[in-house]
Amino acid sequence: MRTRTPVDGPDAAEADLLRTVTSFDRLLRLLRRLTTPDGLSLTAASTLYRLEEFGPQRISDLAVAEGVTQPGMTQLVTRLERDGLAERRGDQGDRRVVTVAITEAGRELVLRRRRARATKLSHLLDGVSAEERAAIELSLRVLDRLADSASAPTSTSTSTEVGSRPE
């Protein structure tokens, strides 16, 4: 199924990749819009999902899990709390830690959000053939798998970029 002849080699492959990358850009912007219908940021939604799925957790753990700094998570929790979606709880035994729990309203929002997005997706998928749908499901699984390996930096890194990330 490779559409390349043996001779054109790396150039053709690179061209393919470049087109793929461009596609990624457009896809990204689509996804960003699809996932911001209710005023929840990606991190906010992800945090809520996490709380809903795994129960109360401390701020610093959430920060690590979501890949933001602790102050960032503190502020996010403050916003969630203000909106009634989560609440701070003390922790007996260690009075420094703050445990964050999802509220009933938060739980409902998560459910509503999931349903709304499922509906949206199913509408979108109406215009997609079974074959294409299978391809999508497969690639999502693959990309999801790659997400983990990407999280663990190989340090084999070609270091193509300035690398100003805080790590």
Partner DNA sequence: ATTTTTACATCAGCGGCTTATAGAAGTAAC
Partner DNA sequence: GTTACTTCTATAAGCCGCTGATGTAAAAAT
Q: Which residues in this chain contact DNA in the complex, by CB under 7 A?
A: 39-44, 58-61, 67-72, 74-79, 88, 93-99, 166
How large is the angle between the packed helices 42-54 and 70-82, nearest 10 degrees?
80
Instruction: Work out how close the CB of 144 gets to DNA at its nearest, in angstroms, rounded to a whole number.
Output: 20
CB of 90 or CB of 153, closer to a second copy: 153
74 binds, among a second copy, DNA, none (CB under 5 to 8 A by kind): DNA
97 binds, among a second copy, DNA, none (CB under 5 to 8 A by kind): DNA
Instruction: Work out how close the CB of 60 gets to a second copy at its nearest, in angstroms, rounded to a whole number.
Output: 19
4 binds, among DNA, a second copy, none (CB under 5 to 8 A by kind): none
98 binds, among DNA, a second copy, none (CB under 5 to 8 A by kind): DNA
CB of 78 or CB of 139, closer to DNA: 78
CB of 7 or CB of 147, closer to a second copy: 147
